[in-house]
Structure 1
Amino acid sequence: MGVYVVTGSASGMGAAVAQRLRDEGHDVIGVDLADADVTADLSTRDGRIAASRAVLAAAEGPLDGAVLAAGMGPRRGRERMLVEVNYLGVTELLDAIRPRLAQAGNAKVVVFGSNSTTSTPLVPRGAVRALLDGDAAKSARILTRRGPLSAPASYAASKIAVARWVRRVGVGADWAGSGIRMNVIAPGPVMTPLLAGQLASPTGSQVRSFPVPIREYGTPDQLAHWVMTMLSPAADFMVGSVITVDGGTEALLRPDDWPARLPARLLPRMAWTMYRAPKRGQVADYSDV
């Protein structure tokens, strides 16, 4: 049996994942604002540092995996808090516990993204770039200029940035090269307390109008089942993947955008990575490509 960290473990999809892990006999270190093994506020740097230290103290050895499910939904006026929780609450915590994950030799990490990354228009690129540079304040300033669109743009920007972070660093020597398989799950609308609150809000009609071809919402249990697969040996050959589980929205809105051919501008990069391909038994380091 293994030891797993689950953020957002007190409710919704995080709670469903934590329960499944415990049901299978694993030890779970839950992280949340309340009702968790580690209570911490991931919206502040001090809170993230405290969470990291508490997790490492509770683990007392290698970590077999981590599920980063904690997050904030769109909320105007809380742009800075949202990007800090959704982006830095993932990246800083994972950076802190990475050595313990590497000790396991075959750890799995699942980061919760969102299909908002490909279904939300007018997300400012500058806000995403600022987050990838670690500048949440700058990202929030850019996003607040969107006015009424700042809330959905902030949420999508945070999820775009965290998915790109996973894909960028996950293939490097510190992660894949250390035996850590890190991937992203991108849900569509799932019936969590967050979605229930949105449906009951004054903008509930807009939420209900969001196109879901299967004409039903997902459930935390369904997403937890996917996460368990991504934590299992079935995912030994998965690194940097984004798994979309959204009832068909992505396919409806972007049927021809994926798969996409490799752009010609990336040929030099491809040639360089092939040149640097490792010999049998060696590990490639593509982190600076």
Structure 2
Amino acid sequence: MSRTYAVTGSASGIGQATAALLRRRGHRVIGVDVRSGDVVADLSTPHGREEAVEGVLDEAGGRLDGVVANAGLALPTAATVAVNHFGTVALLEGLRPALVCSRAPRAVATSSMATLLPVHAPLVDACLAGDEDLALAIAVELEARGPEAGAVLYPSSKRALSRWVRREAPTPRWAGCGIPLNAVAPGIVRTPMVADLIATEQGRDALAGVVPMPLHGYLEAEQVAALLAWLVSEENTHVCGQTVYVDGGCDVVLRGDDVWSWNDSAPVAVTDPAARETVPAG
């Protein structure tokens, strides 16, 4: 059955690949991009976000089956925070009522394996508090210190986005309305943005030290698109609040198996008190 999707960042890279894949499968895609698309809008500004939401709603007739919030920047500038976190959140929240009208609504955002890298904690906190003025003031200060300090803006914006998804996904507004909300976290994707860096052995070696990808190496945009397409398909009924790492094993290498350590000393949830001594925790 044909479905209607909105895809941001549809003019290039992962967004373009996702829009093309969904169309090949017979679905209608409303492309949103700052340069070209069915809806042209700049997600770095509140006005641009309003234009994006209104444009998609007009194109879709007020009803959507899925949203792929993919648009993003990877620059050492404050605009990266504005687009990656606040633009994505505003778009998802603005289009949520249109998703509620669908029989099988789905939503997904594009995060990054950069969520695993060092971040600027006050910036992440400001993003999660929804305080864009404070977040951008922090970002502008970091940008002014130069590219090295500004490099933390991208992972910080993506960390905040993944945490927002995790917080919002199980709430009545999303899970309660039958909307699986998730994110994907790609590793290094072969795009013009990284072409120069991966063109030399020295560049590849330096990158591998930060982003190890032992399984099959770098990604193509189409490989990320396939995961995004599944997450917004009717087949995905129970994946909720997850950031799914499609990164060739980078997450596993960097974090190992410590993702469960928070629960090591948690009490056992059993109804029979006599069983507490025999049922292992975890």
Indicate whether the TM-score tops 0.5.
Answer: yes
- Whether the 8 Å CA contact 2:170–2:240 is kept in 1: the answer is yes
Distance 1:175 1:215 in 2: 35
Q: In structure 2, do the counterparts of structure 1 residues 52 and 197 end up closer, same or farther at CA, with 3 Å as the change threshold?
A: farther
Measure how far apart 1:161 and its partner are: 0.7
Distance 2:57 2:11 in 1: 19
Q: In structure 2, do the counterparts of structure 1 residues 145 and 227 end up closer, same or farther at CA, with 3 Å as the change threshold?
A: closer
Q: Percent identity?
A: 38
Measure how far apart 1:232 and its partner are: 2.2
Distance 2:234 2:55 in 1: 28
Measure how far apart 1:149 and its partner are: 3.5
SS of the equivalent of 1:81 reads helix
Q: Which residue of 2 aligns with 1:254?
A: 255
- Whether the 8 Å CA contact 1:124–1:142 is kept in 2: the answer is no
Measure how far apart 1:133 and its partner are: 1.4
Measure how far apart 1:207 and its partner are: 3.6
Distance 1:197 1:4 in 2: 33
1:235 matched to 2:236:
yes
Q: In structure 2, do the counterparts of structure 1 residues 196 and 137 end up closer, same or farther at CA, with 3 Å as the change threshold?
A: farther
Of residues 127, 130, 140 in structure 2, which corresponds to 1:131?
127
Q: Which shifted more, 203-212 or 104-113?
A: 203-212
Q: Which residue of 2 aligns with 1:220?
A: 221
Q: In structure 2, do the counterparts of structure 1 residues 93 and 197 end up closer, same or farther at CA, with 3 Å as the change threshold?
A: farther
1:164 matched to 2:163:
yes
Distance 1:29 1:184 in 2: 20
Q: Which residue of 2 aligns with 1:113?
A: 111
Distance 2:87 2:115 in 1: 18
- Aligned amino acid, residue 167 of structure 2: R
Q: Alpha-carbon deviations, 1:97-138, whole Å to 9, x = none? A: 1111011032111110101111x12x1211101011122332
Distance 2:31 2:83 in 1: 16
Q: Which shifted more, 142-151 or 231-240?
A: 142-151
Distance 1:145 1:239 in 2: 33
SS of the equivalent of 1:128 reads helix
Measure how far apart 1:226 and its partner are: 1.1
Q: Which residue of 2 aligns with 1:173?
A: 172
Distance 2:126 2:28 in 1: 36
Q: Which residue of 2 aligns with 1:283?
A: none
Q: Which residue of 2 aligns with 1:2?
A: 3
- Whether the 8 Å CA contact 2:49–2:87 is kept in 1: the answer is yes
- Whether the 8 Å CA contact 1:190–1:220 is kept in 2: the answer is yes
Distance 1:256 1:212 in 2: 16
Measure how far apart 1:152 and its partner are: 2.7
- Whether the 8 Å CA contact 2:216–2:248 is kept in 1: the answer is yes
SS of the equivalent of 2:152 reads helix
SS of the equivalent of 1:171 reads coil
Distance 1:47 1:31 in 2: 11
Distance 2:196 2:55 in 1: 31
Measure how far apart 1:236 and its partner are: 0.4
Of residues 81, 91, 94 in structure 1, which corresponds to 2:79?
81
Measure how far apart 1:263 and its partner are: 6.7
Distance 2:138 2:231 in 1: 34
- Aligned amino acid, residue 108 of structure 1: R
Q: In structure 2, do the counterparts of structure 1 residues 36 and 168 end up closer, same or farther at CA, with 3 Å as the change threshold?
A: same
Measure how far apart 1:209 and its partner are: 4.6
Q: Which residue of 1 aligns with 2:96?
A: 98
Runs of 4+ in structure 1 off by over 6 angstroms are none
Q: Which residue of 2 aligns with 1:34?
A: 35
Distance 2:153 2:131 in 1: 14
1:149 matched to 2:155:
no
Measure how far apart 1:35 and its partner are: 2.2
Q: Which residue of 2 aligns with 1:69?
A: 70
Alignment map for 1:202-213 (pairs within 5 Å): 204=203, 206-207=206-207, 209-210=209-210, 211-213=212-214
